[in-house]
Amino acid sequence: MKYNVLFPGPLTQLAIESPRGLFHDVKTALTDSLSWSKCVKDLRWLRNQVVAPLTEEFVFRACMIPMLVPCIGPTAAFFISHFHHIIEQFRFGQDTFEILICAAFQFTYTSIFGAYTAFIFIRTVHLVGPVLCHSFCNRMGFPAIGSVLLHPQRPVILFSYQMGVLLFLILLFPFTDPAFYDDCSLLLTPRSACT
């Protein structure tokens, strides 16, 4: 629940636009073995829903953050590990100006998302939350707010977006309370580990 509380807007839009209903589509996708078979054979789906969330969250959250937080603090640790996207685009030979524009947007988006998943990991010291959040966000994609403004059901969808942001802000700290996770938190790690 805490990982998809930010998405009532996009989920409402999907439900409105789904010809048979969103819940029917979700039920069919979960119970249809042919659907799962197609997903597992689709390399792009495997990359976006399984490999990327597991590897990125393992490397950036589970490996790097426990080493960085005691030495430089949680705020700096949130942002340090998000420059890899720019290097990847240079390798593929994209135009420098295009790379800078895309990198600025992607850096902003991935930094905010990375800070969020780092926050979850630091507060809970569990990798499952960031991995599920990463996979779900990859599936949902960046919200298409432009299409919402032209949608016939705009008031309902915009209200859902606002409720998602409000619920996210209200529930962020209660749902990541270290008391739910055996009182573990990297914020409690002594700084003597760096000396």
Active site residues: 56, 82
Structure tokens at 30: 């979960």
**Within the chain, what is the greatest distance between any pair of CA atoms?**
61
Decide: residue 86, CB within 10 A, 0-12 exposed, 13-18 middle, 19+ buried.
Answer: middle
Which of 74, 85, 138 has the alpha carbon at shortest distance from 108? Answer: 85
Kindly write down the DSSP assignment for every residue of 41-94, as one continuous string. H-HHHHIIIIIHHHHHIIIIIIIIHHHHHHHH-HHHHHHHT--HHHHHHHHTT-
Rounded (10°) angle between helices 8-17 and 22-31: 90
H helices of the chain, in order, are: 8-17, 22-31, 33-41, 43-46, 52-56, 65-72, 74-80, 84-91, 96-124, 128-140, 145-149, 154-175
